[in-house]
Amino acid sequence: MVTLTSYQRFELVLIPSSFLFSLILVLIFGLNIIGSETWVLMGIPVLLGFAISIFIGYFLKKRNMVHEITQLESLFRLLVLAGGGVLIPVLVAQVFELLTFSSIFSILSLIFSVLGCTMTISCFLLFWHTRTTH
**Is residue 30 over pLDDT 80?**
no
> What is the value of pTM for the model shown?
0.81
Contact 116, 23 (CB under 8 A): yes
**pLDDT tier, 123 (very low <50, low <70, confident <90, very high otherwise):** confident
* Cα dihedral sign, 47-51-52-57: positive
State the average pLDDT over residues 100-124.
85
**Is residue 38 over pLDDT 90?**
no
Contact 108, 49 (CB under 8 A): no
Residue % of the chain over a pLDDT of 90? 9
**Is residue 96 over pLDDT 80?**
yes
**For position 41, what pLDDT does the model report?**
76
**For position 35, what pLDDT does the model report?**
65
